[in-house]
Amino acid sequence: MTKVLISVDMEGISGIVHPTETNPDRYDYERSRALMTAETNSVIAGVLDAEPTAVVWVADAHGPFRNLLPEELDRRAHLVRGKPRPLGMLGGLDEHTDAVLLVGYHARAGRGPAVLAHTMNDGILDVRVAGRSMGEIGLNAAMAGHLGLPVVLLSGDDSACAELSDLVPSAVTVAVKQALGQGAAVALHPAEARDRLRRAAAEAVTRRAQVSPLVLAGPLEVEVDLSAPFMVDLATLVPGVSRTEDGRTVTFTGADFAETYRLILLLAQLAAIMPG
């Protein structure tokens, strides 16, 4: 039986362009939750159009990982919700998974024009794995690839779509908005975005055998640029992590991508701690 994991972020959902729409304590957040849930349902429907017996897991992958409206989610899906959890944005990923779909994703920090571009949080300025800058798209695609699994679909703005296409050229992408900047875009109507996502999800699952996983063999040299000195201080408390001479970058060597991914997740959490 086919198992599909859909990882859903919020910044790449059609119509969303501003932090007030993605932050749980801001006034536009509830509308964004509804838009996010509706786009997710369209992708679930597309997967099941193509493979009616598929087992569909949905990983809520934005901020607190508690954004999707459980009561509004397609009842045929299993929802992975809350944090901390193994594999972060890819909660539910395992060796029994057959394909991964990334919905509502955004471009990495430093790329633009791109809507709400960042890498995990504002404390991380860049992540380089074997010399290549990677954001959440690349890191999650490589983590799936470590298990031999392809990322077959991504939706978000045009910059996010280009980011996956650079790494996995045969994946299906759906640009639900064209970025004009960090906080502006020309967006599809939500209903149009959902129609396109349903068709694309069905196509992506059907042709998954034609998509090669993104595999980065270890050992892997990793550099992480952090935005403040105290973040570097915290990061170097982790065994194997050291600072460079420029004062804002830390480095480590991952034995394989699974170890690399876990360490990057840990450094992101440390970067979110404010000094007291």
Whether 9 has a binding-site annotation, put simply, is yes
Q: Find the length of the chain.
A: 276
Residue 136 marked in a binding site: yes
Q: Is 146 a catalytic residue?
A: no
Does 189 appear as a known binding residue?
A: no
Distance separating alpha carbons of residues 151 and 25, to the nearest angstrom: 32
Long-range CB pairs of 139-142 (<8 Å, 24+ gap) are 139/261, 139/264, 140/7, 140/89, 140/90, 140/100, 140/102, 141/100, 141/102, 141/167, 141/168, 141/214, 142/214, 142/215, 142/216, 142/257, 142/261
Tell which residue, 6, 7, 49, 41, has the closest CA to residue 202: 49
DSSP 8-class letter at 108: P
With contact defined as beta carbons under 8 Å apart, do 225 and 124 qualify?
yes
CB 157 within 8 A of CB 15: no
- Which residue is catalytic, options 18, 78, 96, 118? 118
Q: How far is CA 196 from CA 95, 143, 262, in A?
A: 29, 27, 34
Q: Which residues contact 273 (CB under 8 A, 6 or more apart)?
A: 234
Q: Which residues are catalytic?
A: 118
Binding residue ranges for Zn(2+)? 9, 11, 62, 106, 136
Binding residue ranges? 9, 11, 62, 106, 136
